[in-house]
Amino acid sequence: MSSSGPIPSPAPPARAPLKALIPLFGSTMVFACLDTTAKAMSYYLPVIEISWFRYVINLLMAVAVLNPISSPGAWRFKLPGLQVVRALLLTVMTLANFSALRYLQVAETTSIGFLSPMVITLLSVIFLHEAIGIRRVVAIVVGFLGVLLITQPGFGTFHPAMLLALASMASGAVYNLVTRHLATRVNPGSLVISLAAVPSLLLIPALFVVWQTPPSLFVWGLLVFMGAAGGFGHFLVMTAHRFATAATLAPYGYIQLVWTIISGYLVFADVPSIWTLLGAGVVIASGIYLFHRERVVHAREMAAAAHS
């Protein structure tokens, strides 16, 4: 059946409203502080212990807000197997990222992590059989070339920890795909609780092997800050997504690199190399173009659907 009215033209790219951008920018600052703190903590404590604190504090916060009395729906865990898989992926991502931060600059791990949208698109083609055009294929290839500029394998500046950063990025990409699948099928509260509960329980046996008592109240305070920052950062992201779509907000997330460069310099006197900055620029440009192409294709599909 064809429409009787004029054929709508593709919608122009939506602009994120200020009430979405403010919490999003806040989340990028919080996550930059979280990674910087995790790097500092890695000099005092084992990565497993740091990661456990990060999630157990998240769990306490989630239970306090989403208790069974005020939020009974959050305690009904639909698709529990997939929720556990999702939490395991984030656990691997965190452990790999925190381990990489022990040896790399925060700006380096952040830049490598920006490759995630390209990997998500690639995985969508492989496993979800989504079709993509040649322009998006080129954007993905260019993004990978940008990461090669950062890591420089074979040129003497490659550090094995960069493989951990890549593993963290890949785990995060799969985690995002699983989250996308679960988002419309289960209660959001249950996603928050399972995400904190699984690593909090899973890492307990390892704590008996690696446990080191935090050496000072300052370190204890930073561990609590890390857990609170993780929970607050995700809350800000969810708030931003209430007022704008993921595709609209995604390009603005790259501002996190600015905060990681600033925090890395202030805390560790780290100055990113020219190759890190060039590679990050290539990855960011590729990611922004990829988001742009996806929005253009989506607008065409909506116009075609309205015309049919």
Give which of 269, 174, 194, 209 is closest to 47, Cα–Cα. Answer: 209
pTM for the model stands at: 0.84
5-14, 73-82, 139-148: least confident range: 5-14
Instruction: Report the pLDDT averaged over residues 35-40.
Output: 94
Q: Kindly report the backbone phi and psi dihedral angles of residue 76, in degrees, each rounded to the nearest multiple of 5, phi listed first.
A: -105, 105
pLDDT category at 25 given cuts 50, 70, 90 is very high
- pLDDT score at 292: 79
Query: d(Cα 40, Cα 111) in Å, to the nearest integer?
Result: 19
Instruction: Report the pLDDT averaged over residues 181-194.
Output: 84
Instruction: Report the pLDDT averaged over residues 257-261.
Output: 92
pLDDT category at 308 given cuts 50, 70, 90 is low
The pLDDT mean for the chain works out to 85
- Maximum Cα interatomic distance, the chain, rounded to a whole number of Å: 73
13-17, 24-28, 65-69, 86-90: least confident range: 13-17
One-character DSSP codes across 63-125? HHHS-TTT-GGGG--SSHHHHHHHHHHHHHHHHHHHHHHTTS-HHHHHHHHTTHHHHHHHHHH
Eight-state DSSP code of residue 11: P
Instruction: Quickly tell me which residue has 């561990």 as its tokens.
Output: 223
pLDDT category at 15 given cuts 50, 70, 90 is low
pLDDT category at 154 given cuts 50, 70, 90 is low
Q: Kindly report the backbone phi and psi dihedral angles of residue 163, in degrees, each rounded to the nearest multiple of 5, phi listed first.
A: -65, -35
263 conformational bin, left if phi > 0, alpha if psi -120 to 50, beta if neither: alpha
Contact of 272 with 108, CB cutoff 8 Å: yes
pLDDT in tens, 204-229: 999 999 999 999 999 999 999 998 99
Based on C-alpha coordinates, what's the Rg of the chain? 20
